[in-house]
Chain A
């Protein structure tokens, strides 16, 4: 069996993996990126719409353009990109990690490294995850699968479409299906507000006159061989109103009902996961509970912009490089998600330096206040014009304000 040695192995060659590997290499560490698909770029390749790169490149790019710019940065550097190669396991051997992977071309190989960066991204939730009752006909797709079929492989999965869930992928697919000549009859959303960005509601639904049914649960899928329609039931005062249920005929259902970090490998490697994010718990170095194993991008928590993924992954690459050089956090404080905050990542900060944190709120509110408390005492209170669950919030913390925190102090972040 072939065995290769690196300072660090990055698992996943999407935006996160490439950004982390570039930082590792820039810090003088040898790095390999292992990618399951035959080319780098991850999900960006099928996201042919625009809206990427406003932060990273200061211009609006499509997904393939964003990915290709990173591939070009990779090409000039001595980073091994192992494409078409699936990682089977990550195991500790003494102080080292052994990443076992398999590819049709090269068979099974072992990659030995001192550090591993998890950058596997996320996966779509499917019909089973949300338990939609009804028959099991052909024509039910996750929105991302339909996106791949249409934008990469050139197949049209159906003609008369209903989208379940109003996340951005669902909205963008509603527009895509309309643009390729399909009729999108409805977007059905269980929550009382859209899960996607306002600009996507305007440009992907309103432009095409697609109705959005908020506070509606999909209570049935009809059809024997092929989908013939769905049943939507309104939710009023927290309960279903079956007498107001109605049927929407269609031949295809696209599910855009959320994303889950893809952590099967992490779990088997002994990494402990945060049930709020389904991603690893990480410290202020973005290091998981397994020493030497770092995590970044959508495998850590689901981001809404590729630009944020890149920013976080660069930090993970830099921290992994520093850790390889013997650096360790001097001391860390626990970060707690307070009122109306679903999670904060990472969940530790190191006082005395700048810590970048991402958090997601649970509420929709104008003129909200972001409050940071240290052991119950308000450290900082800043106004936010608008918050909503679909817009991730980022803050910087810790340069000076945590200096006098005691050893067991807890930082709590709330949205009020």
Chain B
């Protein structure tokens, strides 16, 4: 199988080609540095993304415009499970006040990654 992708490790943006090699190993070409090969392997075998979102804040006063609590995953999250993760975040109703770093979801989807608040709101 042949895959084409753009390396995002640095701004050069090498165009990478990854092909299944003889021993089942991915053979990467087009990279100008070793980071390109590592990026292609991770991106093709287990792509991950840092997910950021907002969840509903309970107890917002009518004068406040801020109605959402921003949050993010504590580590990059498997890309194919991001939609499920977002559904879980959108289902949250978090009472104020909240402080930055508070864990809103522990061990999300059983994958060992937390969702934490990124802003202190009172």
> Which residues of chain A have a CB within 8 Å of any CB of chain B?
45, 48-50, 60-62, 64-65, 68, 150-154, 179, 197-199, 201-203, 207, 366, 385-386, 388, 391
Q: A48-B53, A49-B52, A64-B100 are in contact. Are A391 and B70 (CB under 8 A)?
A: no
How far does the Cβ of A154 sit from chain B's closest Cβ, in whole Å? Answer: 4
Cross-chain contact of A198 among B6, B51, B53, B67 (Cβ < 8 A)? B6
Most interface-central of B54, B79, B82 (chain A CB within 10 A): B54
How far does the Cβ of B108 sit from chain A's closest Cβ, in whole Å? Answer: 15
How far does the Cβ of B86 sit from chain A's closest Cβ, in whole Å? Answer: 6
Whether A207 pairs with B70 at a CB distance below 8 angstroms is no
Kindly state whether residue B41 has any CB partner on chain A within 8 Å: no
Q: A62-B72, A366-B12, A385-B12 are in contact. Are A48 and B67 (CB under 8 A)?
A: no
Cross-chain contact of A153 among B6, B11, B56, B65 (Cβ < 8 A)? B65
Within 8 A of A (CB), among B1-52: 5-6, 8, 10-13, 32, 49-52
Cβ–Cβ < 8 Å partners of B65 in chain A: 152-153
Cβ–Cβ < 8 Å partners of A201 in chain B: 6
5 closest Cβ pairs, A-B complex: A64-B119, A199-B8, A48-B70, A198-B13, A154-B67
Cβ–Cβ < 8 Å partners of A179 in chain B: 51, 53, 82, 86
Cross-chain contact of B52 among A62, A198, A207, A391 (Cβ < 8 A)? A62
Whether B54 pairs with A151 at a CB distance below 8 angstroms is yes
Whether A50 pairs with B72 at a CB distance below 8 angstroms is yes
Cβ–Cβ < 8 Å partners of A199 in chain B: 8
How far does the Cβ of B63 sit from chain A's closest Cβ, in whole Å? Answer: 10
Q: A198-B13, A203-B49 are in contact. Are A48 and B118 (CB under 8 A)?
A: yes
Whether B70 pairs with A151 at a CB distance below 8 angstroms is yes
Cβ–Cβ < 8 Å partners of A64 in chain B: 70, 100, 118-119
CA distance in complex: A299, B100 (Å) = 29
Cβ–Cβ < 8 Å partners of B10 in chain A: 385-386
Interface size in chain B (residues, C-beta < 8 A): 28
Cross-chain contact of B11 among A45, A50, A388 (Cβ < 8 A)? A388
Q: A48-B54, A64-B118, A201-B6 are in contact. Are A152 and B72 (CB under 8 A)?
A: no
Whether B11 pairs with A198 at a CB distance below 8 angstroms is yes
Offer 28 A-B interface pairs, CB within 8 angstroms, sorted by A: A48-B70, A48-B72, A48-B118, A49-B52, A50-B52, A61-B118, A62-B52, A62-B72, A64-B70, A64-B100, A64-B119, A65-B100, A68-B100, A152-B66, A153-B66, A153-B67, A154-B67, A179-B51, A179-B53, A179-B82, A198-B6, A198-B8, A199-B8, A201-B6, A202-B5, A385-B10, A386-B12, A386-B13
CA distance in complex: A154, B54 (Å) = 8
Cβ–Cβ < 8 Å partners of A62 in chain B: 52, 70, 72, 118
Cβ–Cβ < 8 Å partners of A154 in chain B: 54, 56, 67-68
CA distance in complex: A391, B10 (Å) = 11
Cβ–Cβ < 8 Å partners of B120 in chain A: 68
A152 and chain B: residue at smallest CB distance: B66
Cβ–Cβ < 8 Å partners of B100 in chain A: 64-65, 68
How far does the Cβ of A52 sit from chain B's closest Cβ, in whole Å? Answer: 10
Cβ–Cβ < 8 Å partners of B86 in chain A: 179
Q: A64-B100, A68-B119 are in contact. Are A152 and B67 (CB under 8 A)?
A: yes
Q: A48-B70, A207-B49 are in contact. Are A202 and B6 (CB under 8 A)?
A: yes
CA distance in complex: A207, B76 (Å) = 15
Cross-chain contact of B50 among A50, A151, A385 (Cβ < 8 A)? A50
A200 and chain B: residue at smallest CB distance: B8
A388 and chain B: residue at smallest CB distance: B11
Cβ–Cβ < 8 Å partners of B68 in chain A: 151-154
CA distance in complex: A391, B13 (Å) = 13
Cross-chain contact of B79 among A49, A153, A207 (Cβ < 8 A)? A207
